[in-house]
Amino acid sequence: MLTYFLRRLLMAIPVMFFVAVFVFLLLRLTPGDPAQAIAGDQASLDQLEQIRETLGLNEPLSVQFLTWIGNMAQGDFGRSLISDRPVLEMIGQRLGPTVALALVAMGLTLIIALPMGVLAAWRHGGMTDRLVMAVSVIGFSVPIFVIGYILIGIFAVNLRWFPVQGYKALADGLWPFVHRIFLPGLALASIYIALISRMTRASMLEVLREDYVRTARAKGLPESLVLFRHALRNAAIPILTVVGTGFAMMISGVVVTETVFNIPGLGRLVVDAVLARDYPLIQAIILLTAGTYVLINLLIDLSYALTDPRIRYQ
Amino acid sequence: MSLTTSAPASPRKRLLENPPHWTTVLALIVLLAIIAMALFAPQLAHFEPTKLNAMMRLKPADETYWMGTDSFGRDLYSRVVYGARVSLLVGAGVAVGAIVIGLPLGLLAGWFRGLDAVLMRAMDGLMAIPGILLAIAIVALTKAGLTTVIIAIMLPEIPQVVRLVRARVLATRSETFVEAAVLLGTRPMRIIWRHLLPSTIAPLIVQGTYIYASAILTEAALSFLGVGIGTETPTWGNIMAEGRLYFAMNPWLVYWPAIVLSLCILSINLLGDALRDRLDPKMKGRS
Amino acid sequence: MKLFNIKALGAAALLASSVAALPAWAETTLTAVMQAPLRSLDPHLSTAQIVRTHGFMVFETLLGMDDQYQPQPQMADYTVSDDMLTYTLTLRDGLMWHDGTPVTAEDCVASLNRWSQQDGSAKTMMKYVDSIEATSDKELVIHMKSPFGPVLELLAKPSPIPAFMMPKRLAETPIGTQIPEVIGSGPFKFVADEYRPGDQAVYVKNEDYIPRDEPASWTAGAKVVNVDKVVWQAMPDMQTSINAIQSGDVDLIEQVTIDLLPLLAMNEEVETGILNPLGAQVTGRFNHRLPPFDDPQVRKAVMYALDQETIMQTAIGNPDYFQLCASIYGCEVPLASDVGAEYLEGTAEERMAKAKEILAASDYDGTPVLMMQPTDLTVLTTQPIVAAERMREAGFTVEVASMDWSTLQSRKNGWQPVSEGGWNFFFTYWGVAGIWNPLVHSLINGSGEDNTWAGWPVNARMEELRAAYLTAGTAEEQKQIAEEIQQIAWDDSFYFNAGEFKSVAAWRTELHDIQSGPITLFWGVSK
């Protein structure tokens, strides 16, 4: 198990290198000019040229790439082209809100979606099933920004239960934090609630037909124990896969949610960076998310082995 | 409870004994209606979807403009009707494309352990890049056209298909009947075709409907962020994205396309569910 | 009794001193949503409006500009010799940089040098300048080779790029590189620790700032700060901003989408109005180097086909907030005139007929026109669509290419054929302060040189007139030259002037005495 873990860690290096090369090329082949973002649209071509020269954007691509990789190997992620601030400092400023938002959304998802899915599978074909699926499908079918606006319209503007926008760190107190992050968390969770509850249901349906579930029932075990101890545990693999892949997809939801609720997180930082062609910043954020993603998936793969005794790794 | 007592039967027999639920029928009707709307858009629409009228901006619904007008003074109803074309195409293009590319990769990765490591690392790499960012970059790289948007949305979806298929294959290949087939010397391709492929169909249908739905939503998100298909080609996504600015004044600019889009996705999902329940590989395997 | 009084006095004194020690007790914070997020901080480097507004918070200019467009003393008082060859500027007393060091003439010379390498008009001015030198700690002198009309105007201008003053050590930062620190002498100090690029910028009142005695007028006069702290909060979504000002989360929105004003009209706690009397001109630019718009007749057909009213009506909606005029300098500035109005006369249909006629008579062969359309900049998304429709009606083949604003901006800088990523036409807008005279106006450059602003028209007469404007002796002479320039800009179809719109701001009624200005000003206002 340990060797497997170490081997997978080693394998993450080529993955990250692939990401680095891919992203670097993709960005540099994309039209757009960071100098323009610095100098504004009324700048003359002379001014732009001067800025490009200073930033080293006139160097050959290979030189730029090697410089970047070399600096990163020494732990230097560089400075933002636009704001001239260290990239890591900018990411650090924006990391907290995004992590908080993602965790809250994931928490809400699991609390809501798992029981929904199990219930639907248990009452398969009945009204409860249809109702659960109908509710989940709404989360699927309505764009996050519409859900966001509806939530804001009802709970913030009309009922005034929540603030309309903004973010407070946990350090500012539990209540201000929860108060502001609940609606965006719910909006972001909506799509995952739909996804996870469907996956749970589909997976549970399979498992519920297995012999050992019948046996457990025949033995007269309480239904809740059968459902949650025996069935759900074995239905976990596809669910875990989706939770893991959901992380990458969550970024897109995060971008939109952060925009609607005005949360100063990484999602907005990265979109701004793309639109302004702030290369070092985009590259660093992508490597960071890619690294996190690789790690999460490694953990999920490991948990496969733990949840499903049929899968073994040498 | 009905589960444990349902007896295995052939698909056709089951269909006869167990007619589709009324919601499935309704879903089918709705989806067909939306497809018809897309096909007959020129006959159904009242105006060219791009016809501007600066004097008729943001008007509420009336007899001429069934759903009112948008900020360009264009007829919202006509745009929603035409929007069905592009949105359906984006969804179908992405779902079909992702599965056509992802399924064989997943089968190979799941079966051939040597390929697995390389392939999955490449998939990990592709997947680790946030899809929205990839899409923004790709759309910006070329033109903000239909094909670009489809490819941009499809690329990040592929690894998910591969992973799902692979996970499924890993679980199935240790089943007794597969191990027996291996011992009997059955060729790998045959095993994949006969035993592994069928076991992936049910989860793929679930995943495929999800991809279809999410592709339409991702297109909307791209439009929301300002990098979607240009406004000269109406899509439900860019209609909503343009309408969102006026949400508080006239939420129907968003609600109309949202309702049609939601109905469309709802029916696709319900059909996917129904199909899934009928095509269950375990039941099929035992009949 | 006596003892009691003494105790009471002591308590009162204690209370007073504790209040003084804890300004947070009564701190007023003004939170504003600006029209764009602040991403870079060097006001010499960027032409973006938000960076200029940031510049006027922290930095000052030697001269300010009042609401009559006149240069007035700000950091310095000035004298001009009778032969117009010597400008003497004397720094006023009490000026301190935010790092605590005094402002010296030498700092200002270094700042002027840096500024004049970056600003287009200043570069022009430097051709006439013999030397700029500090003659004492307080005095600097500009010696001219020959008279140049707008020296004072340039030192005072609030348009890109203002002549901001900074300490010598920052002013020596090479051009092209951003200044490493934000240290100015202005009424606000920048709080570097609380700055989150693209999201939040924080300024605190500069307690050491000594305002002038004259009343405030635009960037001239007394800059009296009545709030302790100003927070700029970026909000990428206008709906969010509107919700936030209604709930009191923010105090001011610099630019509200005009269609959404009715939402705020119902709210008694929020006022709306125009804080910046100068509007912005929407301009449709031809690429003069590529067919079909290398042909003046084809350009002229477009000039008649496009319709100011339809474009502005679709983009803005409410006619209270847009203005149609022929003036290429802005509708209400001193140089504004009706010259060239013949291109706007008659009904849209009559002009369309004329456009068809001109195009039919021209050599236009159906070459598709590539119209760039930004997808992520709301103010400029509608114009290309409206224009494309009118141009198609006139007989053009038009392809609308949608792209993000950043792509558009860099694509506009190239003149390669359309098939290799070139362009034919696009829209942008200019704050009137950036076009209000022939010196600062980038679109009327007729030299056709590679390094000029996108479009590259060539017109020799235009160049003569632009040069003549700089040395014109009187206001009348200037005005006459400006009018001739405007006539050529229309006749030779340099660009299409699509009209002018105003930015509407919204603020909560707790705010009093908001200043009007060429940019949003945060002095004078109290809460």
Q: At B158, which CATH number?
A: 1.10.3720.10
Preceding peptide of C215 cis, ω within 30°: no
Domains of chain A in start order, with CATH, are: 2-87 (no CATH), 96-312 (1.10.3720.10)
Q: Say whether C442 and A44 touch across the interface (CB within 8 A).
A: yes
Q: Give the pair of three-digit tokens for residue B78.
A: 């006509």
Contacts of C417 (CB under 8 A, 6+ apart): C290
What is the three-class DSSP state of C474? coil
pLDDT of residue B1: 35
Contact B283, B8 (CB under 8 A): yes
Least confident range of A151-160, C216-225, C264-273: A151-160
In a domain, B244, yes or no: no
Contacts of B134 in chain A (CB under 8 A): 26
In a domain, B29, yes or no: no
What is the three-class DSSP state of C140? strand
Among residues C230, C231, C232, C253, which one has the least CA distance to residue C241? C253
Q: Give the pair of three-digit tokens for residue B110.
A: 């799941």
Q: Which class for A210: exposed (0-12), middle (13-18), buried (19 or more C-beta within 10 A)?
A: middle
Nearest to A294 among B124, B134, B168 (CB): B124
Give the burial string for B162-197 (b: 16+ CB within 10 Å, else e).
bbbbbbbbbbbbeeeebeebeeeeeeeeebbeebbb
d(CA C185, CA C165): 8
Residues of chain A predicted below pLDDT 70: 1, 140, 244-245, 247-249, 304-314
Identity of residue B145 = G
In a domain, B54, yes or no: no
**pLDDT-based confidence at C420, cuts 50/70/90?**
confident
Contact B108, A2 (CB under 8 A): no
Mean pLDDT, rounded, of chain C: 90
What is the three-class DSSP state of C526? strand
Contacts of C378 in chain B (CB under 8 A): 245
User: Read out DSSP for A274-297?
Assistant: HHHT-HHHHHHHHHHHHHHHHHHH
What is the three-class DSSP state of C497? strand
CB neighbourhood size of C414 (10 A): 15
Residue with tokens 């649209």: A41
Q: Which chain A residue's Cα is nearest to C434?
A: A42
Percent residues over pLDDT 90 in chain C: 72
Question: What range defines the domain where residue B118 resides?
Answer: 80-233
Q: Give the pair of three-digit tokens for residue B97.
A: 């494309």
Region C2-11 average pLDDT: 41
Q: Say whether C401 and B228 touch across the interface (CB within 8 A).
A: no
CA contacts within 13 A on the Cβ side of B222 = 36
Identity of residue B212 = Y
Q: Which stretches of chain A are DSSP H helices? A: 2-29, 34-39, 45-55, 61-73, 87-122, 127-141, 144-151, 174-208, 211-218, 223-225, 232-234, 236-261, 266-276, 279-307
In a domain, B173, yes or no: yes
pLDDT of residue B15: 60
Distance set, CA A45 to CA C352, C442, C452 (Å)? 35, 12, 6
What is the three-class DSSP state of B248? coil
d(CA C328, CA A2): 73
Percent residues over pLDDT 70 in chain C: 95
pLDDT of residue A259: 79
In a domain, B153, yes or no: yes
Among residues A105, A147, A142, A112, which one has the least CA distance to residue A247? A105
Region C4-11 average pLDDT: 42
pLDDT of residue B229: 82
- Number of Cβ pairs < 8 A linking chain A and chain B: 190
Nearest to C313 among B54, B144, B226 (CB): B54
Binding partners of C (≥3 Cβ pairs within 8 A): A, B
In a domain, B259, yes or no: no
Q: State the smallest CA–CA distance between residue A209 and chain C in angstroms.
A: 49
Contacts of A30 in chain C (CB under 8 A): 407
User: Which residue did the predictor score with more confidence, C186 or A196?
Assistant: C186
In a domain, B248, yes or no: no
Q: Say whether C404 and B227 touch across the interface (CB within 8 A).
A: yes
- Number of Cβ pairs < 8 A linking chain B and chain C: 84
Q: State the smallest CA–CA distance between residue C378 and chain B in angstroms.
A: 9
In a domain, B64, yes or no: no
**pLDDT-based confidence at C214, cuts 50/70/90?**
very high
Among residues B194, B90, B233, which one has the least CA distance to residue B152? B90
Number of domains in chain B: 1
**Measured at the alpha carbon of residue B78, what is the angle toward residues B75 and B82, in degrees to the nearest 5?**
140
CB neighbourhood size of B124 (10 A): 24
Q: Which chain B residue's Cα is nearest to C314?
A: B54
User: Which residue did the predictor score with more confidence, C207 or A25?
Assistant: C207
Contacts of C309 (CB under 8 A, 6+ apart): B54, C324, C348, C499
Q: Which chain C residue's Cα is nearest to A262?
A: C235
- Torsion angle, alpha carbons of A80, A83, A88, A91, to 10: -110
Q: Tell me the pLDDT of chain B (287 aa) as tens digits.
A: 333 334 444 556 656 666 777 878 998 999 999 999 999 999 888 888 888 887 888 888 888 888 888 888 889 999 999 999 988 999 999 999 999 999 999 988 888 878 887 888 788 788 778 777 788 777 766 666 788 889 989 988 898 899 889 888 888 877 777 778 878 887 877 887 877 888 888 788 778 887 887 888 788 788 777 777 877 889 888 888 888 788 777 888 888 888 888 888 878 877 877 776 776 544 332 22
Query: Strand C200-205 relative to strand C229-233: parallel, antiparallel, unpaired?
Result: antiparallel
**In Å, how far from its chain's centre is CA C159?**
5
What is the three-class DSSP state of C191? coil
